[in-house]
Amino acid sequence: MIKVLFICHGNICRSPMAEFVLRDFITKIGMDDNFIVGSAATSQEEIGNGVYPPVKKILTSLGIDCSNKVARQINLGDTKSFDYIIAMESVNLDNLYRLFPRCDKSKVYLLKDFTDTPGDIADPWYTRDFDKAYKEIATGCLGLLKSLNQDALISLDEKQHKALDSLVI
């Protein structure tokens, strides 16, 4: 079982988008039983709020239901129980390490580390470019799955390989 936690500032835009996109990809390649996927905030600002409407609109257009998601803050247990803690931008990492200075850095990544263009995913709350954020997040999620397969942490049969290669971003 691979446990992935996505983090961003408020847990209403980028990290829930990544959570639900990765879950969707996992379902499409038939690996539901191999993953636990969640998301959390590094701040307390949005705790209890639902997914931000423009993000919900994008996910809904893809046939993804996120209506039960509410923002929550990462906790110490998360830092211990998840295998991968994947942030959207470097400031999220700074906040994570401020909250949990002893967090195991070997399991912490930026989502775009799994792409050909490492770096930050800008917060669409400020940029208003939710489509760009989606494309970067989906590309990162696809890259994560390919990385896990390449590192033999998941094992895909021929049908699953084809499904992975056919995922559309």
Q: Is there a catalytic annotation at residue 8?
A: yes
Q: Tell me which amino acid residue 34 is.
A: N
The catalytic position among 13, 78, 123, 141 is 123
Active-site residue, selected from the candidate residues 13, 14, 23, 141: 14
Would the CA dihedral through 39, 51, 8, 140 be positive or negative?
positive
- CA 111 to CA 107: how far, in whole Å? 12
String of b and e for 10-27 (b: at least 16 CB within 10 Å)? bbbbbbbbbbbbbbbbbe
Q: What's the half-sphere exposure (Cβ side, CA atoms, 13 Å) at 156?
A: 22
Which of 68, 13, 2 has the alpha carbon at shortest distance from 41? 13
| Rounded-to-integer distance, Cα 164 and Cα 157, Å | 10
**In angstroms, how far is CA 82 from the centroid of its own chain?**
12
The residues carrying an active-site annotation are: 8, 14, 123
